[in-house]
Amino acid sequence: MWKKWLTGMLALLLLTGGIPVHRAEAAWYPSIQADGRKDEWNDTVPLIRGKQTTVHTLKVANDASYLYVLVEGIGLSALTSDFYLNTDGNAATGYREPNWDEDSGADFLLETSVHLEPVTVGGQVRNAKKDKASLLSYTGTGTDWSWNQEAEYVGSGQIVKTDNVIEARIPLSDLGLSSGNSVKIGFVNYYSKSERLPAKTGAFAAYTIKAANAERPSVPTGLNVSNQHSTKLQINWTPSADNNGIKGYKVYRVKGDQIEYAGWTTSASYTDGWLEPSKTYTYKVEAFDTDGYSSGPSLAVTGSTTAYPSVPASTGDWNAVTDLLFNYTVEDSIDAAEFASYDLLALSGAVSPEKLNEIKAINPDIFIVGYISVGQDAREGNSPDIFFKDSEGNPECDLNWPSCFIDPTNQNWQKKVLDELLPGLVARGFDGFYLDTVEVTEVIHKDKAWGMGQLVQKIKQKYPDKIVFSGGGVHLMRGGDYDIRSSVDAVLFESYVNTWVGDMMWDETGQVPVGNAEMYGVYTPYDHPRKMDYASKRDVINKARFQFNTDGTLVRDGSGKTVNQPNTNFHVFTLDYNTPFQPELIRYSAEQAWSDGFLPSFGMKLLYFPPAYDWRTMSGYLPFQPSTAFSAANFGKSYDLMKYVPVTVDGDGSEWSGTAALSVTGTGSITKLSMAVDGTNLNVLVEGTGLHTPGQRIILNTDNNAFSGYQFPEWSGNAQTGTDFIIENGTLLKHLGDPWSSAGWTVWAWEQAADPIQYAVNGAGTVLEASIPLELLTSVGGNKLYPFSQITAAYMKYSGATTTETLPKVLPGATESLLHMDFRGGLIKADGSTADWSGLGAASSATGTGNIHRINAVGDGHHLNVLIEGTGLTGNKGRLLLNTDNNEGTGYQSASWGPAVSTGADFMVEDGALFEYAGSGSDWNWKSVVRYPDIPVQPTGYSASTAAIEYRIPLDAVHLAPISAFSAAFQTYSGAAVVETFPHFLQMTLPK
């Protein structure tokens, strides 16, 4: 204890000028604890500084026993990150990491990782984070990945990983280093090609293990303050001198007897930002030499910020907003002219009024909203009572982000938002607020979701003239006292179509890798739970805001624009992640968002970089312009194709004639069972006799797994029902038996749903109707029922424990099947027959004279359906080439059509197998398009007969939206030889 006290006193004397500077001192080492605290490193000069990267600072220090390393940045809590250490000074030996231009020559690798240990909290099993570092020595020959573990360091004091800091200590003896030795260190976050220090083209810097003495530089003098603004001040001084040279300066804010680190600079001037207006600040400056030793602090200087200048409100029309830029880059990186070219900006709440005025001077119609998180925040600066608590009374925190989950029902938090945080944004001149993390209570503590709805309502009530932009919140748009539909002006869907992942991403089981390179533009197919979840939210929010015709299409005004419900005039934006080198994915994502009734936008990882591209130009985004993909008629086009016909549950059933229902029929008293979806509900129609008497049971398998859930013995031997839910006489019941155990399949244990469903039978007992919200149909296994899912159903009449009749009659010896419905629909069935193409209005190519007669295609909102007509088509294999980015200069260029014709094929289907082109144009280089490991759905539906080949290809698998344009070509082949090339291309724009 006394040593720490003495160290503290020495530090205090140094900071207050009590210790003479610019002289040699014996036994001086930095005091570092490897506990995640950056303030212990204030006297340490950065070894490497990065630019335009989320990993920006590498610091190295040592004492008599340990080497200490510190990395600062964002997103550092990734599962794995590595320090490469060259300890022998020879770049030609050791491991040469391939993504640095300079040889790393790493003799050791310090691999930091996060170990997740399951812990039970409040009856829930959660992953607890344990930090670990493994020291590996290189045993290979230079390029092969061959390492031997030498030591392991676990926990605070040895290794700490947070989102902003990685700090570790390594015994010098483990590295074979001592005073005077040099070590070169490089850092890579999560195997990234870009998030590294030094940068790919940068040079490694050597650190020399220091002895415990040094000469200090002179103290900076002549401090003055200039260039005052409302949020920043410029501090200037006379440069210091040192016999070994000056490395840079640290600037501190002085607050009474305490000082806090403000920043680092290599010049004799520093601009301090993030300040409060009309406030006085005091500063001291400290110089550092090339060995890392400091001068001690200078004399203090004082300066004052100005008052906030007024910022004019937007003069624009909110209803006309179409172009959004989401960007949290620092103020100095904001190009006012570039940012002013958008209709709406969502910026960091720290952007100054001066910068807002600079943007609005160029575009007075622009709307600018400031960021605030209302569902998560850091522990620091907040009362502990605002957070959800674990079983030990500690705040529940996000393992992937440095924040904890807020209980939105807490009135102290609501008061802080309303009376402190939002007034700060208003004072700066923002036109409104972007409310991040609104969706937290959709995932955890769902019983507290009403608090978030209440908070959003209060925000709009207090600031009716401000834009309220909600980050998610669809779960608060289902009606009730705390519905937010009339309290928001915009809603955001993040990663709607595309997102980004780092290297070595794994599936939910941790067993199967789903990516082995840093990638942007990663999308999930529409039969993946993530995509289906967004599809479900899409339908909830659009049914809440749009008016629909009785046939399920959207109501439109005279210009073709959609018509909103009363009091729900809000925009919905998407935010997808792509690089500037993915124009076709940007185009596809923008078109998909538009066809779903949303306004697109794009960014790059974490949004902290300045915009890397103008997504509007790259996607051809011309909102509401006729004869473009983004015309008024195409806005929300998905609904005109899906035609979610609403059903009134009244026992009538006459409106079912317009639905896309699937049915199974019988010959007894249960004559027909039909099912359809309207986007948010599963609708059921039963026809027959005696349906008004007790003993009516609807059987539902909602997780698309016949071997989980209750197995009704009536179908034993012919079909597995895998029942997750039943509806008995209008009551929805969930099966509680173990869905994955054969013992649980026969357990008659059911739980009544908390919310009632709609259920009606006509007086004659001939028509029964039911409507069940899809959100209620979550099985014990956790799978949700989405509008794009599949379901198996049956109907049963019973008396007591005795079954009296079933539909279908799948009893021993019977041949009927259960009703199986794919909610994704489909205009055609890929069965090799042309019968179901009649009347679809498909687009067709010109007619050929060989065995291949014609290419036909039509879209249905979910699929690209292609029909090849001809004769003898099964004699050889078929190859369908698709140019989906409409760029003849990209993709595979087949020589079969001659030198004057460019195929530009981005995708290819060979006998039902789907491939994406990965070559440079003329080389035969294709990669298979496959589903995620947990989705057993084939990439295409495919069937061939002598007269017809049919394809049913998911649109998103080939980067097409329901409104996209493409071209198609076809040929037959045998082995490596092309047999026949159809001379005519099909060029069309969906959905025709």
Residue 575: pLDDT above 90?
A: yes
Q: Give yes or no for a contact between 469 and 488, defined as CB atoms under 8 angstroms apart.
A: yes
Mean pLDDT computed over 380-399: 87
Mean pLDDT computed over 292-304: 89
Read off the tokens for 343.
Answer: 């209709």
Beta strands in 211-356 (DSSP E): 213-214, 221-226, 233-238, 246-255, 258-265, 269-272, 280-289, 294-297, 301-304, 324-326, 344-347
CA distance 104 to 97: 6
Of 459, 454, 460, 461, the C-alpha closest to 483 is 454
Indicate the SS3 state at residue 953: strand
Residue 120: pLDDT above 80?
A: no
Q: Find the helix or strand (DSSP H, E) in which 449 lies.
A: helix 449-462
CA distance 907 to 917: 6
CA distance 541 to 639: 13
Of residues 581 and 652, which shows the higher confidence score?
652
Note the pLDDT of residue 27. 42
Q: Would you place residue 700 in the very low, low, confident or very high pLDDT band (cuts 50, 70, 90)?
A: very high
In the block, residue with structure tokens 């000056």: 246
CA distance 57 to 665: 69
Note the pLDDT of residue 816. 67
Question: What share of the chain in percent tops pLDDT 90?
Answer: 58
CA distance 929 to 958: 9
Q: Give yes or no for a contact between 323 and 490, defined as CB atoms under 8 angstroms apart.
A: no
In the block, residue with structure tokens 């010049």: 267
Read off the tokens for 544.
Answer: 């809440």
Amino acid at 180: G
Indicate the SS3 state at residue 74: coil
CA distance 966 to 691: 50
Mean pLDDT computed over 317-338: 92
Q: What are the residues whose beta carbons fall under 8 Å from the beta carbon of 645, sequence distance 6 or more? A: 550, 551, 552, 655, 658, 659, 660, 676, 678
CA distance 958 to 945: 24
Note the pLDDT of residue 717. 64
CA distance 754 to 733: 10
Of 572, 474, 477, the C-alpha closest to 562 is 572
In the block, residue with structure tokens 């003799």: 107
Q: What are the residues whose beta carbons fall under 8 Å from the beta carbon of 446, sequence distance 6 or more? A: 475
Note the pLDDT of residue 526. 57
Give me the chain's average pLDDT, please: 86
In degrees and rounded to multiples of 5, residue 238 shows phi and psi of -80, 135
Read off the tokens for 989.
Answer: 């724009």
Note the pLDDT of residue 392. 84
Q: What are the residues whose beta carbons fall under 8 Å from the beta carbon of 800, sequence distance 6 or more? A: none
Quote the radius of gyration of the chain (alpha carbons, Å): 33
In degrees and rounded to multiples of 5, residue 111 shows phi and psi of -95, 110
Residue 325: pLDDT above 80?
A: yes
Residue 506: pLDDT above 80?
A: no
Note the pLDDT of residue 519. 59
Note the pLDDT of residue 813. 54
Q: Give yes or no for a contact between 32 and 157, defined as CB atoms under 8 angstroms apart.
A: no
Indicate the SS3 state at residue 411: helix
CA distance 471 to 416: 19
CB atoms within 10 A of CB 352: 24
Mean pLDDT computed over 421-445: 95
Note the pLDDT of residue 125. 53
- Could you report the per-residue pLDDT of 626-667, keeping only the tens digit for each? 999 999 999 999 999 888 888 899 999 888 987 888 899 988
Q: Would you place residue 524 in the very low, low, confident or very high pLDDT band (cuts 50, 70, 90)?
A: low
Distances (CA, A) of 728 to 672, 750, 804: 18, 11, 15
Of 116, 194, 214, 19, the C-alpha closest to 612 is 194
Read off the tokens for 939.
Answer: 């990439």
DSSP 8-state code for residue 45: -
Of residues 119 and 458, which shows the higher confidence score?
458
Note the pLDDT of residue 116. 65
Of residues 686 and 76, which shows the higher confidence score?
686
Of residues 567 and 719, which shows the higher confidence score?
567
Mean pLDDT computed over 299-305: 96
Residue 10: pLDDT above 60?
A: no
Peptide bond before residue 808 is cis, with ω within 30 degrees of 0? yes
Note the pLDDT of residue 938. 59
Note the pLDDT of residue 25. 37
Note the pLDDT of residue 935. 43
- Could you report the per-residue pLDDT of 543-567, keeping only the tens digit for each? 999 999 988 899 999 999 999 998 8
Q: Give yes or no for a contact between 953 and 990, defined as CB atoms under 8 angstroms apart.
A: no
> Rounded to 10 degrees, what is the CA torsion of 401, 405, 411, 415?
10
Q: Give yes or no for a contact between 219 and 106, defined as CB atoms under 8 angstroms apart.
A: no
Q: Give yes or no for a contact between 819 and 571, defined as CB atoms under 8 angstroms apart.
A: no
Q: Give yes or no for a contact between 67 and 170, defined as CB atoms under 8 angstroms apart.
A: yes
Q: What is the largest CA-CA distance in the chain?
A: 103
Mean pLDDT computed over 383-396: 89
Note the pLDDT of residue 679. 86
Mean pLDDT computed over 786-792: 78
Residue 740: pLDDT above 80?
A: no
pTM: 0.77
Note the pLDDT of residue 667. 87
Note the pLDDT of residue 520. 64
Question: What share of the chain in percent tops pLDDT 70?
Answer: 88
Note the pLDDT of residue 878. 94
Amino acid at 334: I
In degrees and rounded to multiples of 5, residue 878 shows phi and psi of -110, 145
In degrees and rounded to multiples of 5, residue 449 shows phi and psi of -60, -30
Of residues 159 and 80, which shows the higher confidence score?
159
